[in-house]
Structure 1
C-alpha cells in the first residue's frame, strides 16, 4: 500500500470541499444516473445539481503517479474562476472503500452536444449560437492567456460544453480524467 493512501487528506488544501462517497452515492442514486460515457448526474444535500466523474474504484489500478496527478488537477480546478468554466464543486478521496472522484456544477439545460444532435437544435437561434461561440472563446482565452501557468482543455468538443438556461456555455475537461 502506498503512503499516500494512509491519510485521506494528505496533500490537499483544507479549503477544498471534500465530499464522502456515501454522500455522492445518495446524490447520484448509486451512480446509476449516467449522462455520458464517464459522467453521473445528481443533486447533493445542499441542493446543487452536480456532475460526478468517478475515476477509479480499484485500488490495485491506482498508482502513486495517478495520485499525484489527481491531487494536482483537483488543486488546479479549484483555482479556476470564470463565468464560462464549469465550477469545481469538490472531490471525493477515500481509501476504504477506495474511491477517487471529482464533482462539477451541472446545468439543467444539458450539453451543447445534446442541443446539436438530439433534436434540440431548433432552440439554437443565431443569437444563442453566437453567445455560445463567444462564451467558449472567452473561456479558452481565460485558460490560455489569463492563467499562470496557462491551462488547456484536453479535447474540446460539444460534449465538453454545458449550456445554462440562458445559453451561457460552461467548459469542462472530461477527457483529462479518462486517461486515469
Structure 2
C-alpha cells in the first residue's frame, strides 16, 4: 500500500531536525519539527505522540491508510507529503511534509504584526484555503474529507499562499 511513498529513516530525520530540537508546533497528538534535508530542502516533520505499548494493529493500519491517502494529494494549497518514518526502536511514526516558511495562519491572526494582515493577503489566504478544500472534497476521487480544520493547521509560504497541513492524526 505504501510502495510509492518515500520511507525516511529516523536517523535522517533526527539529523535534519537538529536532534529534534527545532519544534515549530504541536497538538495533543503530535509534535511538529522544522528540518533541512541533506540536499537543502526545508521540511516539516510531524511526529506522533504515542508510545509503543499503546500502539495497536488498528493504529498501524490507520497510520498506513493515512500515509497512502496523503500521498495521493497533489494541490498547490495542500502541503505535499514527501515521505514517512516507521521504526520500531526507538518507536517512531512520522510524516514528512514540504515546509512553508511564514508560520501558521493562527500566529498571524493572533500574535504580533499578524493581526494587521492586509485585506489582499487575507483574501489570498481565504481563496487558497477554499481552493484546497474544493480539491479535497470535490475534485479528488475518492474525496478526502477533513475531520477538522483550524488556523494552526494552515501554514503560509513566504508570499502568503496557504498550505493545509494535517496535524491531527487522531490515532
The TM-score normalised by the length of structure 2 is 0.91
Q: CA deviation at 1:56?
A: 4.5
Task: Report the 3-state secondary structure (helix = DSSP H, G, I; strand = E; otherwise coil) of the residue aligned with 2:133.
Answer: helix
Q: In the alignment, which residue of structure 2 is the partner of 1:99? A: 92
Shift of 1:58: 2.8
Number of aligned residue pairs: 167
Q: Indicate yes or no: 2:36 matched with 1:47.
A: no
Where 1:93 maps in the other structure, the secondary structure is strand
For residues 111-131 of structure 1, the C-alpha deviation after alignment (integer angstroms, 9 at most, x for no partner) is 111111121326621111101
* 1:110 lines up with 2:103 in the alignment: yes
Aligned to 1:155: 148
Q: Shift in Å at residue 153 of structure 1?
A: 2.2
Aligned mates of 1:108, 1:56 — CA distance in 2 = 24
User: What is the root-mean-square deviation of aligned Cα atoms in Å?
Assistant: 1.5
Q: Is the 8 A contact 1:155 1:173 kept in 2?
A: no
Give the match's secondary structure for 2:23.
coil
1:83-136 deviations in Å (ceiling 9; x for gaps): 000011100011233211111111111111111112132662111110100000
* Equivalence map 1:12-51=2 (5 Å): 12-13=2-3, 15-37=4-26, 38-51=31-44
Verify: 1:143 aligned to 2:136, yes or no. yes
Gaps of 5+ in 1: 1-10
* Aligned-partner Cα distance in 1 for 2:157–2:11: 28
Partner Cα distance (2:39, 2:62) in 1: 29
> Does 1:164 find its partner at 2:154?
no
Q: Offset at 1:12?
A: 2.2
Question: Helix, strand or coil: the match of 1:40?
Answer: strand
Could you tell me which residue of structure 2 aligns to residue 7 of structure 1?
none
Please report how far the alpha carbon of residue 26 of structure 1 lies from its aligned counterpart in structure 2 after TM superposition: 0.8
Whichever of the two has the greater Rg, that structure is 1
Checking the alignment, whether the CA contact within 8 Å between 1:58 and 1:98 is kept in structure 2 is: yes
Consecutive unaligned residues of structure 2, counting only runs of 5 or more, are none
Partner residue in 2 for 1:70:
63
